[in-house]
Structure 1
Amino acid sequence: MDLVAYFTTLARYNVWATQRLLDAVAVLPDDDYRRDVGLFFKSIHGTLNHLLVGEVHLWQVRFIEGQSQRIPLDTELEADRARLGERLLEGATRWPSVIAAIAPERWASTLDYVTNRGTFASLPFAPTLAHVFNHSTHHRAQITAALTALGQRCPELDLVYMLQQEQKPA
């Protein structure tokens, strides 16, 4: 399996799905966007902030810089919803170049880091990177469930829809 091609596809999907989700969320009134709808991070806003914390400020820093920041997972890094969306997309669009820069021998190694609880972790590199994209998919799914509960249309976010879209002639 070509891991660079596989993870580049996941990174493209992450950008595509994040953009589609943000477009769907953009139509929500602010009260609905910030309402506690029973998600783990309470609101759509809280869940999007969690994605910014996890994907960009924790995992990207671990993979790019080899550093471990300790940021509570429910931290509101961005109160402004438009800026939050911009920052999420900026972070998502960084992944393809990160993946392209990974040395071939790195894929079979480990990612060593310090968890948010302050404990050392050493995990297989490639599956841990897969976790980052899986984690984002998980929380996007929670947000689509919240959109449905709020009576809103949800975008199709399955990977195969992106792949089908990419095959259509321009």
Structure 2
Amino acid sequence: MNRQNLLFLANYNVWATQRLAKHLNQLTDEALLQDVGLHFKSIHGTLNHLLLGEHYLWYPRFKDGVSNRYALDSLIEPDPQKCIQALLDRAPLWIDFIQNLNAERLHELLHYRRGNGEALTLAFTPTLMHVFNHGTHHRGQITAAMTYLGHECPELDMVYMLAEQHRHQ
């Protein structure tokens, strides 16, 4: 996987986050906070987990070599609307990070500590790919929850982004 592939995934992450946010902003806080049986209970709980994972755990690990220690269900942003906005504001940081990344770094290892203090060493690029795959997984859970609650949800398949880009060429 090269820088262009990673940039594609980072751009998809921004696109999907923006598209999801447009639909989420139409839901009430009550709907966002309702326990719908997800691992992190609610849509908000899952959004909060995305914010935590992508931006409080993984981003500092990749960018600064810092392993913050949070439980995976730590409440980072209790306000659902602010949580959505924080995801929107922070998603583009990954694009900047990848654009400015030393190409040699893509072939190195990532050393970090999990929330429980366990030291891990993983291949840098596949682990970065995990961050974007993780977001895709949880956005899928969120759209299923939106459907369960009777709300319209966006189509987030990557092919829709590709078609959208093709129309704008």
Pairwise CA distance, 1:169: 3.0
Tell me how far apart the structure 2 counterparts of residues 86 and 113 of structure 1 sit (CA, whole Å): 28
1:165 maps to what in 2? 164
| 5+ long unaligned stretches in structure 2 | none
Pairwise CA distance, 1:24: 1.2
Superposed counterparts of 1:9-158, under 5 Å: 9-158=8-157
Pairwise CA distance, 1:162: 0.6
Identity %: 50
Q: Normalised by the size of structure 1, how large is the TM-score?
A: 0.96
Tell me how far apart the structure 1 counterparts of residues 168 and 9 of structure 2 sit (CA, whole Å): 21
Pairwise CA distance, 1:26: 1.4
Pairwise CA distance, 1:86: 1.6
Pairwise CA distance, 1:78: 1.0
Tell me how far apart the structure 1 counterparts of residues 80 and 21 of structure 2 sit (CA, whole Å): 10
Tell me how far apart the structure 1 counterparts of residues 9 and 144 of structure 2 sit (CA, whole Å): 22
Equivalent position SS for 1:122: strand
| 5+ long unaligned stretches in structure 1 | none
Number of residues of Structure 1 aligned to a counterpart in Structure 2: 169
Q: Do 2:33 and 2:80's aligned partners in 1 also have CA atoms closer than 8 Å? A: no
Tell me how far apart the structure 2 counterparts of residues 120 and 156 of structure 1 sit (CA, whole Å): 38
AA aligned to 2:40 is F
Q: After the TM superposition, which parts of structure 1 deviate over 3 Å for at least 4 consecutive aligned residues?
A: none
Pairwise CA distance, 1:19: 1.0
Q: Do 2:107 and 2:123's aligned partners in 1 also have CA atoms closer than 8 Å? A: yes
Output the aligned Cα RMSD. 1.1
